[in-house]
Structure 1
Amino acid sequence: MIDTKSLKELDNRSASAFIQLLKEISKKKTTLYLGAGVSASSGIPTWNQLIEQICSTFFYHWEFSEDNGNDKIPKNLSIAFWENFFWSNESKNLSKILAKENPINIAEQIKSRIRPIDWIYLVRKLLYYQHDLKPSTLISEITELFSSEYINTVLTSNYDDLLEKQLKAKGIKCKSIVFKPFKKDDGKVVIHPHGILPIEGGEKTKIIFTESEYIEEFSKPYSWTNLIQLNEFNQSTCLFIGTSFTDINLVKLLRISRGQTKNMHYAFIFNDPNKDDKIKELFYNYLYDLGIKVILIPMENSSDFSKLPKYIKLINEFLRDKNHELRKYAT
């Protein structure tokens, strides 16, 4: 029984997993795996939100082409206006319906109908220029954790470089690794398996977004994207933050890794009070079979994500303070 005020909001299983995580970070190489929820905390749209905005922009431009005498689905459509005040009610309604379907399939359908030169332009504009982006408490605490001596590697499924910008602001050197090998003595690295779109410009890479791009990249057993993630899953303890585990390729790699190593990983998962307990328990056991121990973060309601930074902060406090109250459990 773990009796401490620091973990009083966690259930016994989550508290135990949290203590085990502290032991792993203290003694063994740990990799952070950041999902869309991390970037969303700073105002960047989630996958579904981004797809809905892409759809709205596309349907508006299609409507505009119809006004000019073309009522067929456009080909090589030119994208000029990405701002949301241009979107009609019809385009927004259609987008809400379409965004509920498979996001990478929808991205494929739309990308095939617009000019290739406009695709990255559109994604970049909708990611960064329609939102009030500012460092979140969550990213600040993750930056603090990554700044420690215990962690040198971050894997992120996000296209943005928010973390790199935060590290640079603190005077901490790190490298963004995208579709290229790196050495472990390169210091701190942020690996982008899906590509990167720097907020303020910079290195241009492809991004893995659409169905064909996912199939092309992940169907190759020895692709850089597969190997770089599998290597971290096999050789490190990973802490998943802001990840929903709906990415089938991530799940596939975790399952492969589970067959190759007995490494256990950890994930912060929000304990949605509106979901049925049996459904949640089924999902938690699914993750355990993939080699992931769940740490359930309490929620006041289904849109309350405020308590996650508290537990990242607790890890930071533990690593700094040799007399921390959790030391008696995590030794």
Structure 2
Amino acid sequence: MSTNPTASGKISQLINDNLVNEYRFYNQKSYQEDIDNLIRAFNSKDLVLFLGAGVSIDAGAPSWKELISKLVPKMLEVELKTKIDQYHIDEISRIYKNFNNTSPISLVSHVKNSLGSEFRTEVCNLLYANVNLEKSEILKGISKLCRPTRDNSGVHSVVTYNFDDLLERVLYKKDIEYASIYKDEQVPKARELAIYHVHGFLPSDGSLNHDKEMDLVFTEDAYHSQFLDPYNWANITQLSLLREKTCLFIGSSVTDPNIRRLLDVAHRKNKEKYHYAIIKKHLADEVNTEEIKNMLGLSIDVPDEEVKTGLEAVLEIINKIEEDAYKPLGLKIIWINSFDEIPKILLSILG
């Protein structure tokens, strides 16, 4: 291992300072232009919100991996034909979450088969177990955008990839009319904000837990079925909105293959149309400097701040590379350093 205390300087030397500064300037300029475009879309009621898991997680709902890790003990109870106490449920969930390398979506099919008719009920119970709507500033910001205005500005509709009814509950408290759309042939009324649950809907009252007409895109076969069916109502709805409106992705990394495919198809039809996604940057402060030193063969005596300075330059370029990778899909990135910035961005769109 190298013990050269100046070795970390090589990190910075890999990046031309002018290039980094140019990107930072571009990023700041682009940020304001993107916000201005979103304001114009809002003012003409051309704005559609696409909501990912991060929105629900902000209110206390489990992440995808957490949800599956909590379903595994439920599956074991059925297969072992014995009741597992809460302590061991938590232990099994923690172990599974940390050590399982199986594709989550492929495992769910096995869990679903084991739980049978109770699968949706168990998912529903876990979704809402730790929800606290009052703590979610993101949902509060979204609800403010969704409030009807006298001048016919505002949000045209919402597309959500989440099963929950958290947004609906927040809108209900604010007396905002909405319609939850979760299957074909459902149509909102003129005054209602359409909320399209394109992966299915499990409201907190459990009323749809046994609705056989509703598709819940939670297993591998269900995901593939939706992905491969160009006439699926959810695909048609998303593609129509992506072609005709200005869309803002919130709480989503936009890595889902079906979402990216639909973005690609829409952008091929109209190269001038761009959409936006709020995505958190890679930050040097979140990297373990000891691991970086070990990886690069640096002396442990190299100051952490020196390592972070080099990392900052590299991560700026990584962010730029990722930003450029989204552009062929017609997607522009609004970078944030913290998820706490999302409500502020949403309020800035209100003007």
TM-score scaled by length of structure 1: 0.79
Question: Match for 1:171 among 166, 171, 175?
Answer: 175
Q: CA deviation at 1:237?
A: 0.5
Once residues 90 and 269 of structure 1 are traced to their aligned partners in structure 2, the CA distance between those partners, rounded to angstroms, is 32
> Where do 1:89-108 residues align within 5 Å?
89=91, 92-98=94-100, 100-108=101-109
Could you tell me how far apart the structure 1 residues matched to 2:49 and 2:336 are?
A: 17
Partner of 2:195: 190
Q: Percent identical across equivalent pairs?
A: 29
Checking the alignment, whether the CA contact within 8 Å between 1:32 and 1:239 is kept in structure 2 is yes
Moved over 6 A (4+): none
Q: Deviation per CA, 1:126-153: give whole Å up to 9, x if none.
A: 1112x14223111011001011442130
Match for residue 49 of structure 2?
Answer: 32
- How far residue 28 of structure 1 moved from its aligned partner, in angstroms, is 5.2
Residue 271 of structure 1 aligns with an amino acid whose one-letter code is K
Structure of higher RCO (CA pairs closer than 8 Å, 6+ residues apart): 2
SS at match of 2:95: helix
- Which residue is 1:44 aligned to? 61
Listed one character per residue, the Cα deviations across residues 85-130 of structure 1 (whole Å, up to 9, x for unaligned) are 34264563234322x5422112123223x1311211221121112x
**Alignment-mate amino acid for residue 25 of structure 1:** F
Structure 1 residue 48: deviation in Å?
1.7
In structure 2, distance between residues paired with 1:290 and 1:184 = 32
- Asked whether the 8 Å contact 2:188–2:194 carries over to 1, the reply is no
SS at match of 1:115: helix
CA root-mean-square deviation: 2.4
**Mapped contact 1:159–1:197 kept (Cα < 8 A):** yes
Matched-pair contact (CA < 8 Å) for 2:70–2:89: no
Query: In the alignment, does 2:275 pair up with 1:265?
Result: yes
Aligned to 1:290: 329
1:241-280, Cα deviation, whole Å (9 max, x unpaired): 1111121111111111111223211111112314733332
Instruction: Map residues 49-68 of structure 1 onto 2, 5 A cutoff.
Output: 49-59=66-76, 62=79, 64-65=80-81
DSSP 3-state at the match of 1:185: coil
Counterparts of residues 93-242 of structure 1 (less than 5 Å): 93-98=95-100, 100-112=101-113, 114-129=114-129, 131-135=130-134, 136-148=136-148, 149-181=153-185, 182=187, 185=190, 187-203=192-208, 204=211, 205-242=214-251
Task: State the partner residue of 2:22.
Answer: none
Q: Give distance in 1, aligned partners of 2:59 and 2:115.
A: 30
Give the CA deviation at 1:222. 0.7
Bigger Cα displacement from structure 2, 239-248 vs 176-185? 176-185
Q: Which structure would you say has the larger Rg?
A: 2
Instruction: Return the structure number with greater helix share.
Output: 2
- The number of aligned residues is 286
Q: Distance in 1 between matches of 2:238 and 2:111?
A: 28
Query: Aligned letter for 1:296?
Result: W
CA distance in 2 between partners of 1:91 and 1:20 (Å): 44
Mapped contact 1:240–1:267 kept (Cα < 8 A) = yes
Give unpaired runs (5+ residues) of structure 2: 1-24, 288-314
